[in-house]
């Protein structure tokens, strides 16, 4: 009889997240959330995530097609892209820090301005209002209008209609009022956590607790209900104890299934925020390797590189790759956990991965 152990959990994690490539909208709905990151090395994280899950995907297509799809930029466990229908679970969002009277008045003026204009670029707001400068989240100064627009978007007053050379273009939005009864709030929190589990499963109990805390970014007003849902975890999700720790996954899945199909000779370069990689604790439990994202680590202290992409070969994490483009050519710098594989199958898989990345980046036909 099949046993659920770390090997089964690892195979299940791979098989369920690398589903058969489909359309862009279907892939985002299947995942439930795609984390965004502005660093392009060699492409943005959201594009690197989607290249493995969308048929014939090319870097930049998410931004190019965004306005025509039923998806939204918004906050979940982090900032990224999610199906439009998920907004009903997140909004109306109540921020942890309420605005004072002056800030509410400014927001009301800007909201009226955007409602009158329709889709509005931040520069148009800056030209119409004199909001000055504010201190940014990471130090330094930001344009106060940009800061205000970001806060209005977070509070559900605005949505991102499209991007203009990477800059958010906003339009006003109104969210339907939600049933605020205890039962309805619990149901919304449970539905959001179902999405978390579906995205990152199989999840060890420590990760489930951590992600529930992070859900406070996207749904701070539902944190008490989310914590209650976690207390009911064993009744809600399938689970098993592996080496003393309880792991969870959606109730209709079976990690021990022999039907899992993993391409044994396929090599993939994974984004630091790919669902398979993002939870560092889970990643280390499954592969016995502590991957680190070092983009914000001083260069002299990096051990893997600025934007190291974990390399998955079949069901093995074998190392990492830093990829850059020079003179229209992909230039790789590889590192390995142990010895570099010498098999012909690895060399063929690596060549295929380079070709796949080159096509994705528009470097090859």
pTM: 0.94
Answer yes or no: is pLDDT of 247 > 90: yes
Answer yes or no: is pLDDT of 213 > 90: yes
- Kindly report the backbone phi and psi dihedral angles of residue 249, in degrees, each rounded to the nearest multiple of 5, phi listed first: -155, 165
The pLDDT of residue 131 is 62
Close Cβ partners of 24 (under 8 Å, ≥ 6 residues apart): 50, 54, 57, 61, 62, 65, 69
User: In this prediction, what percent of the chain has a pLDDT beyond 90?
Assistant: 87
Answer yes or no: is pLDDT of 175 > 70: yes
Q: Give the mean pLDDT of 222-242.
A: 96
The pLDDT of residue 138 is 44
> Distances from the Cα of 135 to the Cαs of 98, 138, 144, 182, in angstroms?
18, 8, 9, 38
The pLDDT of residue 133 is 52
Q: Give the mean pLDDT of 333-353.
A: 96
Answer yes or no: is pLDDT of 362 > 80: yes
Take residue 252 and report the two structure tokens written for it. Answer: 């209709």
Take residue 142 and report the two structure tokens written for it. Answer: 């930001």
Write out pLDDT tens, residues 327-339. 999 999 999 999 9
- Map tokens 């003393």 to a residue: 244
- Kindly report the backbone phi and psi dihedral angles of residue 260, in degrees, each rounded to the nearest multiple of 5, phi listed first: -60, 130
Mean pLDDT of the chain: 93
What is the band of 264 on the pLDDT scale with cuts at 50, 70, 90? confident
DSSP 231-299: HTHHHHSEEEEETTEEEEE-TT--TT-TT----TT-EEE--TTSTTTS-HHHHHHHHS------TTS-G
The pLDDT of residue 62 is 97
The pLDDT of residue 143 is 75
Q: Give the mean pLDDT of 359-363.
A: 96
The pLDDT of residue 72 is 98
Write out pLDDT tens, residues 116-164. 999 999 999 998 887 655 555 444 545 788 889 999 999 999 999 999 9
The pLDDT of residue 261 is 81
Question: Which of 152, 202, 204, 170 lies closest to 17 in space, CA to CA?
Answer: 202
Q: Give the mean pLDDT of 275-290.
A: 95
Answer yes or no: is pLDDT of 233 > 80: yes
Most confident of 88-102, 121-135, 193-207: 193-207
Answer yes or no: is pLDDT of 9 > 80: yes
What is the band of 3 on the pLDDT scale with cuts at 50, 70, 90? confident
Write out pLDDT tens, residues 293-329. 999 999 999 999 999 999 999 999 999 999 999 999 9
What is the band of 1 on the pLDDT scale with cuts at 50, 70, 90? very low
Q: How many Cα atoms occupy the beta-carbon half-sphere of 190 within 13 Å?
A: 15
Take residue 123 and report the two structure tokens written for it. Answer: 């520069």
């Amino acid at each position: 009889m099949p046993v659920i152990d770390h090997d089964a959990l690892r195979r299940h994690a791979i098989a369920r997240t690398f589903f058969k490539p489909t359309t862009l909208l279907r892939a985002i709905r299947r995942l439930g959330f795609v984390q965004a990151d502005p660093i392009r090395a060699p492409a943005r994280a959201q594009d690197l995530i989607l290249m493995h899950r969308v048929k014939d995907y090319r870097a930049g297509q998410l931004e190019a097609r965004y306005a025509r799809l039923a998806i939204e930029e918004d906050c979940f466990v982090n900032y990224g892209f999610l199906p439009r229908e998920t907004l009903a679970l997140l909004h109306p969002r109540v921020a942890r820090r309420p605005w004072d009277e002056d800030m509410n008045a400014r927001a009301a003026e800007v909201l009226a301005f955007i409602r009158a204009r329709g889709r509005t670029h931040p520069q148009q707001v800056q030209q119409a209002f004199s909001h000055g400068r504010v201190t940014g989240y990471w130090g330094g100064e930001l344009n106060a209008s940009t800061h205000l627009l970001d806060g209005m978007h977070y509070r559900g007053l605005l949505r991102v209609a499209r991007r203009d050379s990477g800059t958010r273009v906003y339009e006003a939005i109104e969210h339907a009022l939600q049933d605020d009864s205890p039962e309805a709030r619990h149901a919304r929190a449970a539905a959001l956590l179902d999405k978390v589990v579906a995205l990152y499963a199989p999840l060890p109990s420590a990760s489930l607790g951590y992600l529930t805390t992070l859900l406070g970014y996207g749904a701070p007003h539902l944190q008490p209900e989310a914590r209650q849902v976690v207390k009911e975890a064993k009744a809600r999700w399938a689970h098993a104890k592996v080496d003393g720790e309880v792991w969870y996954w959606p109730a209709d899945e079976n990690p021990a299934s022999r039907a899992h199909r993993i391409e044994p000779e396929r090599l993939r370069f994974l984004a630091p925020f790919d669902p398979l990689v993002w939870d560092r604790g889970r990643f280390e439990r499954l592969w016995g390797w502590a991957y680190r994202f070092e983009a914000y680590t001083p260069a002299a202290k990096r051990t893997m590189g600025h934007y190291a992409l974990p390399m998955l070969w079949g069901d093995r994490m074998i190392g990492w790759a830093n990829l850059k483009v020079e003179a229209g050519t992909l230039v790789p710098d590889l590192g390995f956990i142990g010895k570099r594989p010498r098999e012909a199958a690895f060399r063929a898989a690596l060549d295929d991965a380079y070709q796949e990345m080159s096509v994705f980046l528009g470097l090859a036909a």
